[in-house]
Amino acid sequence: MRLFAALLAVVLIGVPAAAQSDPAARFAARPPAPFTVAPSSHPGNDRALVINSRSGKPTAANADGTLCKAAFKAAPSNAKLSQQQINGMMSTPEWRQNARAALEQAFSVNSGAVFSQAGVSGLEFVGTPKIGPGAAKTRVYLSMAETPAGRTTLSCATLASELETALPVFRAIRASLTMP
């Protein structure tokens, strides 16, 4: 459960993305146009990025005015596991339920699914924040993936009225992430 609490903290903290990369961590984001990436920092993450849209669509709904935050946190305890072992754990109903339960402390989770990207299995959730300005009109897309190097998270927020058209965009941004 400590891992899920750590994942929740990383997801809630968020990270931004533009075509920036940190060679040491191999964490990068190269989202399609019209998105930009800027380096960011946040305690608890080794690398962080902010991703915004030059067009203003989808509408950014994070409290700080950003659209998406991406982050990487090294997890030395993962090093003893193969990617196949980690993927197996991420795909179990128990793992998904524990991640969902951790997120439900701050979000009403509307949906969740397993995704695969470049040989890495991860989890994605869509939810409604439980507190905060405009929470009822905001939808948040959260994804998390683990590798032997650590965890990569993406958190994007937009207006509920734009969620349907924003989801493919958020998934494209997630697909642009290089997970170390």
Task: Give the separation between CA 83 and CA 88, rounded to whole angstroms.
Answer: 8
Task: Give the separation between CA 111 and CA 164, rounded to whole angstroms.
Answer: 13
Q: Please give the pLDDT value at position 62.
A: 87
Domains observed in the chain: 2-178 (3.40.1000.10)
At residue 129's C-alpha, the angle toward residues 125 and 135, to 5°, is 135
Give the global pTM.
Answer: 0.85
Asked if the model's pLDDT at residue 119 lies above 70, the reply is: yes
State mean pLDDT over 124-142.
95
User: Which element (helix H / strand E) includes 93?
Assistant: helix 93-103
Asked if the model's pLDDT at residue 20 lies above 60, the reply is: no
pLDDT band for position 25 (cuts 50, 70, 90): low
